[in-house]
Structure 1
Amino acid sequence: MDQSKIGTFIMERRKKRGLTQAQLAERLNITDRAVSKWETGKSLPDSSIMLALCEILDITADQLLSGGREAKAAESAPSLPKETAGRVPRRGERRWRLALLLTGGLFTGTLVCFICDTALTGGLSWSRIVAVSTGYAWAALLPWVILKRGGAAGSLLSLSVFTVPYLYSLGRLLRVRAVFTVGTAMAVLSLVFLWLIYAAFRRMGRTSQAMGTACLLLAGLTASINGALYLLEAAPPPDAWNGMSVLLFLLAAAVCFTWKRGGE
């Protein structure tokens, strides 16, 4: 394992991604001095942050440990004939196949519910609830399946767009107004905190600091939901059990923030 070649490869990939040493260090929650040591061949990234580093640099662990030799060999190797290459499905093709499988499975399940509902009741009653819920699930999961990068953001965006219409439709079908009023309040609170958690991981990477921030946000979300349910008269005042869940998230955040990372 040649530390010098690995360091040079890290520097090349960092520059190709348009990152400075300080920006890379910030995303990994380490010091820029540690990054400088990698690139000069004085040390290697710790195993605890290697996967996060590979994700940021858009490389595999094998490419990192081989100093990029694997990637260069692949670039210089002659391309396979079209007949041979066509037999191996690309990642994009696999994602589209999974999307078709997801769509077909959900559609088939909904169709079976329609048939059973019609046979049992002579019309469409409960199966409409299944259809609306299935469509909502499909809209939320499809971006995650199709998009290589940004799948989480795509799913969050779908949830942000379709949650309120879904709750409105569900409330109408169930003929329970509280499903829409209370559900919408809870959904808006949850989506705000989910976007904040997503932003934390985007900025900090998969680090203990990001996990700690997520736990703090989950503690705030739990407290906000308990308070909102009480104000909407949908639940009794928050009690000790509600406070316990908030406390557990706060303790988890404290552990994450004090956890020592390697490579610093």
Structure 2
Amino acid sequence: MLNENIRNLRKAKGLSQEEMAIKLNVVRQTVSKWEKGLSVPDSSMLVSLADELDTSVSILLGETVLEQCLNEGDLKSISEKLEVINLQLAKRNEMRIRIIRYLLTSVCTIILVLFVAFAAMRSEYLTWDFNNPEFAIAGTLLHGFEFLFVRVAPFIFIGSIIGIVFTYKKR
């Protein structure tokens, strides 16, 4: 909700991300991350953002309020809501990392299984009678796949291992 409100209000004022970033003394990528929901502004930046967008912090956070004045209780409420949003973002990022880790592990497993299968086959298809067109096509395809696989798969395997290690890296 916050990210959509920031984007919609910025566009309604006719500001680009770059112009908004300059007004808030941040880089354009920061505004982009807020609008994509990848991060949230801290409470003081949220107040500045609301001022620049000519709205209240509560409206940015998705609430309809009657009173436009911020007091100490409102700041505490805003901080609590930002904490909830940050926890949600952290959970989403952790889930993405977990999915990436499982995909990379699956790639490694598939590569190992295919290497074992090719080793067990021992290029048996090369002894087929290639005068038969069906065997010729199948044998050529198998040989071409094995040829490319044996040369490319080690790089993919190493890249996947590095990716798995990076997903376990402490932040």
* TM bin (shorter chain): 0.3 to 0.5
What TM-score, normalized by structure 1, do the two folds share? Answer: 0.26
What TM-score, normalized by structure 2, do the two folds share? Answer: 0.37
